[in-house]
Every structure is written in C-alpha cells, then in structure tokens.
Amino acid sequence: MQDKIKESIEPRFQLKKAELTNDIVINKLTVVTTSISVVLDSLGSDVTKEQIEKIISNSIKRNKVELDEIDSLTKTTLANLDKSRGSWTDEG
C-alpha cells in the first residue's frame, strides 16, 4: 500500500496545484473585473483604453506573487490536509 501512496504523490500534487491555480486565477479575474467596473461606474465615458489596460497590468503584477508561490502553497495545503486526517505520508 505504501508503494501505491508513493506513486500517487506527483499526480496528487499536480492535481491540487491545478485546483489551487484555478481558484487563484478565478479570484483574481473577479477582482480585476470588479476594479474595472468601479472605475467605469465612477468615471463613465472619460475612461481611456490605456487606463483600463493599466488597471489590468497593475492587478496582474500585484497578484502574481500568489501564483509564484503556488508550489509552496500546494505542499502546505496537502501537508495540512494529511495531518488533519492522520494520513501516512512519510516514513520519517
């Protein structure tokens, strides 16, 4: 059984990483969309394409850090899940 658990480590990591990446991207897209909506509502037709592009660019830069840390976040998330369930994950 331990061999099968070891074989599942990489696919499990990749699946959780994909899930967390999707969650982060969806959340960030919602933030960007909301930011643009607020600006459009407050400034109306005075908003330029360049201003909207700047909002998007700044949001991407601010939120990129979370995606840069996705491997660490994935490891921590899986470790916490395993610990909370008392799962066997290591021989050490």
Interval 13-28: pLDDT, tens: 999 999 999 998 898 8
**pLDDT in the model for residue 91:** 54
Q: How far is CA 89 from CA 8, 12, 14, 26, 74, in A?
A: 11, 12, 16, 30, 15
Average pLDDT of the residues of the chain: 85
Q: What is the pTM of this model?
A: 0.72
Average pLDDT over residues 39-67: 82
pLDDT tens-place string over residues 54-70 = 888 887 787 777 788 89
